[in-house]
Structure 1
Amino acid sequence: MVRTFFRKSAPPPDTGSAPERKASVTGRIVAMASGVGRPVWGPRDTAGLTRHGFTGNPVGFRCVKLIAEAAAAVPLVCQDRAARYETHPVLALLSRPNPGQGRAELFEALFGQILLSGNGYLEAVSPPDLSASLPTELHVLRSDRMTVVPGADGWPVAYDYAVGGRRHRFDMTGHPDPICHIKSFHPQDDHYGLSPMQAAAVAIDVHNAASGWSKALLDNAARPSGAIVYKGGDGQGTLSPEQYDRLVFEMETHHQGARNAGRPMLLEGGLDWKPMGFSPSDMEFHETKAAAAREIAVAFGVPPMLLGIPGDATYANYAEAHRAFYRLTVLPLATRVSAAVAWWLSGFLGAEVELRPDLDQVPALAAERDQQWKRIGEAAFLSLAEKRALLGLPPAMAEQAPE
Structure 2
Amino acid sequence: MSLLRQLLSPAPAAAPGPVAEPPVEYISEPSGERSITSIDDYVHQLSQWAHMGSTLGVQQTLSGSPAERITNSLEGYATSAYAANGVIFATMLARMMVFSGVRLTWQSLSSSGPSRLFGTADLEILENPWSGGTTQDLLIRMITDVDLAGNFYATVVDGEIVRLRPDWVTMVLEPRRFRGGVLGHRLIGYLYQESGEGDYIPLLPDEVARFAPIPDPLATYRGMSWLTPVLREIRIDGQMNHHKSQFFTNAATPNLAVSLKETVTVDQFKEFMEVLDASHTGIENAYKTMYLGGGADVTVVGASFEAMNFKQMQGHGETRIAAAGGVPPVIVGLSEGLQAATYSNYAQARRRFADGTVHPLWQNAVGSLAPLLPRPSGARLWYDARHVPFLREDTKDEADIQGREAATIAELVKEGFTPASVVNAVRAHDWTLLEHTGALSIQLQPTDPAAATDDEDDGEPAPDPDDDTPDEGEE
> What TM-score does the superposition give when structure 2 sets the normalisation length?
0.65
Question: In 2, Cα distance between the equivalents of 1:290 and 1:336?
Answer: 32
Deviation at 1:118, TM superposition (A): 1.4
- Evaluate the alpha carbon distance shift between residue 273 and residue 314 of structure 1 in structure 2; reply closer, same or farther with a 3 A threshold: closer
Deviation at 1:250, TM superposition (A): 1.9
- Evaluate the alpha carbon distance shift between residue 218 and residue 331 of structure 1 in structure 2; reply closer, same or farther with a 3 A threshold: same
1:157 equivalent in alignment to 2:184: no
Q: Percent identical across equivalent pairs?
A: 23
Name 2:133's counterpart in structure 1. Answer: 101
Q: Is 2:96–2:144's contact at 8 Å kept on the other side of the alignment?
A: yes
Deviation at 1:137, TM superposition (A): 0.3
| Helix, strand or coil at the partner of 2:408 | coil
Name 1:27's counterpart in structure 2. Answer: none
Structure 1: which 5+ residue stretches go unaligned?
1-8, 10-34, 128-135, 232-236, 393-403
Question: In 1, Cα distance between the equivalents of 2:90 and 2:298?
Answer: 44
- Evaluate the alpha carbon distance shift between residue 162 and residue 170 of structure 1 in structure 2; reply closer, same or farther with a 3 A threshold: closer
Q: Is 2:191–2:203's contact at 8 Å kept on the other side of the alignment?
A: no
Structure 2: which 5+ residue stretches go unaligned?
4-10, 20-71, 177-184, 429-475
1:280 equivalent in alignment to 2:308: no
Question: In 2, Cα distance between the equivalents of 1:223 and 1:240?
Answer: 28
| Helix, strand or coil at the partner of 2:162 | strand
Q: Is 1:65–1:112's contact at 8 Å kept on the other side of the alignment?
A: no
**Relative contact order (alpha carbons < 8 A, sep ≥ 6): 1 or 2 greater?**
1
- Evaluate the alpha carbon distance shift between residue 240 and residue 353 of structure 1 in structure 2; reply closer, same or farther with a 3 A threshold: farther
Identify which of 55, 70, 73 aligns with 1:45: 73
1:294 equivalent in alignment to 2:319: yes
Mapping 1:209-288, distance limit 5 Å: 209-231=239-261, 237-288=262-313
Name 1:6's counterpart in structure 2. Answer: none
Deviation at 1:241, TM superposition (A): 2.7
What CA deviation, in whole Å up to 9, does each residue of 1:40-63 have, x standing for no partner?
446343322333321111111111
The 10-residue stretch of structure 1 (365-374 or 35-44) with the greater mean CA deviation from structure 2 = 35-44
Deviation at 1:113, TM superposition (A): 0.8
What CA deviation, in whole Å up to 9, does each residue of 1:211-236 have, x standing for no partner?
111111121233111222223xxxxx
| Helix, strand or coil at the partner of 1:78 | strand
Deviation at 1:65, TM superposition (A): 1.4
Name 2:180's counterpart in structure 1. Answer: none
1:141 equivalent in alignment to 2:177: no
> What TM-score does the superposition give when structure 1 sets the normalisation length?
0.75
Mapping 1:116-195, distance limit 5 Å: 116-125=148-157, 127=158, 136-153=159-176, 154-164=185-195, 166-173=197-204, 177-183=206-212, 184-195=214-225
Name 2:145's counterpart in structure 1. Answer: 113
Question: In 1, Cα distance between the equivalents of 2:274 and 2:139?
Answer: 55
Identify which of 331, 341, 351 aligns with 1:323: 351
Name 2:99's counterpart in structure 1. Answer: 71
Question: In 1, Cα distance between the equivalents of 2:259 and 2:93?
Answer: 51
| Helix, strand or coil at the partner of 2:324 | helix
Give the aligned length: 341
Q: Which amino acid aligns with 2:272?
A: L
- Evaluate the alpha carbon distance shift between residue 157 and residue 194 of structure 1 in structure 2; reply closer, same or farther with a 3 A threshold: same
| CA RMSD after TM alignment | 2.9
| Helix, strand or coil at the partner of 1:147 | strand
Deviation at 1:273, TM superposition (A): 2.5
What CA deviation, in whole Å up to 9, does each residue of 1:42-90 have, x standing for no partner?
6343322333321111111111111122111123332344885654233
Q: Is 1:221–1:262's contact at 8 Å kept on the other side of the alignment?
A: yes
Q: Is 2:173–2:186's contact at 8 Å kept on the other side of the alignment?
A: yes
Q: Is 1:149–1:157's contact at 8 Å kept on the other side of the alignment?
A: yes
Question: In 2, Cα distance between the equivalents of 1:360 and 1:389?
Answer: 23
Deviation at 1:191, TM superposition (A): 2.9
1:88 equivalent in alignment to 2:117: no
- Evaluate the alpha carbon distance shift between residue 298 and residue 370 of structure 1 in structure 2; reply closer, same or farther with a 3 A threshold: same
- Evaluate the alpha carbon distance shift between residue 285 and residue 124 of structure 1 in structure 2; reply closer, same or farther with a 3 A threshold: same
Q: Is 1:106–1:139's contact at 8 Å kept on the other side of the alignment?
A: no
Name 1:387's counterpart in structure 2. Answer: 423
Deviation at 1:338, TM superposition (A): 1.1
| Helix, strand or coil at the partner of 2:206 | coil
Identify which of 353, 356, 362 aligns with 2:382: 356
Deviation at 1:271, TM superposition (A): 2.5
Determine which structure has more spread, i.e. the larger CA radius of gyration: 2
Q: Is 2:94–2:332's contact at 8 Å kept on the other side of the alignment?
A: no
Name 1:18's counterpart in structure 2. Answer: none
| Helix, strand or coil at the partner of 1:181 | strand
